[in-house]
Amino acid sequence: MAEIRGFLKFKRKDQVYRPVMERIRDYREVALLPSNEDVERQTLRCMDCGTPFCHWGCPLGNYIPEWNDLVSRKEWYKAYQLLSLTNNLAEITGRLCPALCEYSCTLEINDEPVTIRENELAIIEYAFKNGYVKPNPPLKRTKKKIAIVGSGPAGLSCAEQLNRKGHKVVVFEKDNNFGGLLRHGVPDFKLEKWVLDRRLEILKKEGIEFVKNIEVGKDIKVGKLLKEFNALVLSGGCRIPRDLKIEGRNLKGIYFALDYLTQANRRVAGETIPEGDLIDAKDKRVVIIGGGDTGSDCIGVANRQGAKKIIQIELLPQPPLKRSSNCPWPSYPLLLKTTSSHEEGCQRYWQILTKKFLGENGKVKKLVCVKVNFEKDAVGCFKIKEIPETEFEIEADLVILALGFLYPQKEGLIEKLNLELDERGNIKTNLQFMTSRKKVFACGDMRRGQSLIVWAIYEGRECAHHIDTYLRI
């Protein structure tokens, strides 16, 4: 490092957000980019550990201490070169990754970790600004063709890696635009879509072909693709939502989180939603069931739409603020997360079980809830126990179910290919990412279940590596 004891001299400087009153009036990104000088100073906090646990914590194996070192010496171009070796979508992880690496940074033991994710974002944005990120088509083409189903982060990374090897790659997307959950799941205030379009332009110029509005298995036969392509990649995501099948579930005004977020993103993109299909929080009492990140995204959207009141409830107990002894460094801890959306205004409650929905004229009006405890049974499994006489009601005009995702859609592709599934209902593959059908591969959420962008990129890259080996044998 340019300064060996930088971690003693400089404190961590956290990401700065736009003021709440300003940002809830628009859908622009809430986080601000730090100045280059600030980033150079923050990289000086890296101790360049002999055994860098951050590198172990990042699924992509990003060369974190190395690019911290380069930035600390103002060698931004070299830092970009190193970052792009392992990460196809650094401008996306730099904005959206939960920074698994930072929890395994050695400074996390008794200080605050290095701002790894922000340094990553600063490097890639510096690279874009200075024209370093250019289309880099392969010098030679093989005669192999690969069809990729789905243009989320797994499909995009897989496509870029295979294209770099000289293979012809065609990405099929059933949606009206590319990017998967990055396009229509993640709200613009976390990721403005020009960021995605900027990357897609580069991928197109590198020679990858993108086809939209085509659902493979419906608009185009899988058999046709199997005949025309040397390999088929399934990276269609994992979108079947967990439901809450209780009394009153059929009342109007109760929606799945992804339906709400997708529609909101489409509206921000300028699409018109028919009046009768509109899900809007304006002047409504909104209850979000599910305390995770998807629920938090719904809070951000509801606030921007002008909700009267927002309550987020969660069945599980409130996570701890700090690591507990059963979750020591360098493992990734489950801690209480207060996101920028939470800061914008909402009430949060834990250990709440929803027992039924009550309505008037077919529309939801209330939730009947009860407080719960978790007790261990004879075999040590936690069981939910209702606390007597704690039943209460919450008034609601709009209820969003953000209870997670179960498995990928079976109808269509999976059924037609008669693919073997794992015990959780995701596509089963061998260690080389090949499914139970020869020349059909799977990666991303469709293979590992709903996960993270960084894991989707990892899966796409690994899958591409194994396809390339398979095609060359």
Ligand X SMILES: Cc1cc2nc3c(=O)[nH]c(=O)nc-3n(C[C@H](O)[C@H](O)[C@H](O)COP(=O)(O)OP(=O)(O)OC[C@H]3O[C@@H](n4cnc5c(N)ncnc54)[C@H](O)[C@@H]3O)c2cc1C
Residues near ligand X, by CB under 6 A: 96-97, 149-155, 172-175, 180-181, 185-186, 190, 215-217, 235-237, 258, 261, 293-294, 297, 412-413, 444-446, 450-454, 456
Nearer to ligand X, 254 or 457 (CB): 457
What is the nearest approach in angstroms of ligand X to the Cβ of residue 260?
A: 9
What is the nearest approach in angstroms of ligand X to the Cβ of residue 333?
A: 17
What is the nearest approach in angstroms of ligand SF4 to the Cβ of residue 57?
A: 6
Among 148, 454, 464, 467, contact with ligand SF4 (rule: CB under 6 A): 454
Per-residue mark of binding to ligand SF4, 91-120 (x: CB under 6 A): --x---x-xxx--------------xx--x
Burial of 230 (0-12, 13-18, 19+ CB in 10 A): middle
Interaction partner, residue 58 (ligand SF4, ligand X, none; CB < 5-8 Å by kind): ligand SF4
Q: At what angle do helices 453-472 and 153-164 cross, to 10 degrees?
A: 30
What is the nearest approach in angstroms of ligand X to the Cβ of residue 120?
A: 13
Nearer to ligand SF4, 120 or 314 (CB): 120
What is the nearest approach in angstroms of ligand SF4 to the Cβ of residue 118?
A: 9
Q: Is 89 in the site for ligand SF4 (CB under 6 A)?
A: no
Binding positions for ligand SF4, 18-47, rule CB under 6 A: none
Whether residue 319 is preceded by a cis peptide bond, meaning omega within 30 degrees of 0, is no
Interaction partner, residue 60 (ligand X, ligand SF4, none; CB < 5-8 Å by kind): ligand SF4
What is the nearest approach in angstroms of ligand X to the Cβ of residue 96?
A: 4
Binding positions for ligand SF4, 348-407, rule CB under 6 A: none
- Region of 36-44, 54-62, 210-218, 352-360 interacting with ligand SF4 (CB under 6 A): 54-62
What is the nearest approach in angstroms of ligand SF4 to the Cβ of residue 258?
A: 23
> What CA–CA distance (Å, rounded) separates 250 from 469?
50
Nearer to ligand SF4, 33 or 64 (CB): 64
Angstrom distances, CA of residue 266 to CA of 24, 175, 305 = 18, 11, 14
Among 30, 33, 64, 364, contact with ligand SF4 (rule: CB under 6 A): 64
**Contacts with ligand SF4, residue ranges (CB under 6 A):** 58, 60, 62, 64, 93, 97, 99-101, 116-117, 120, 454
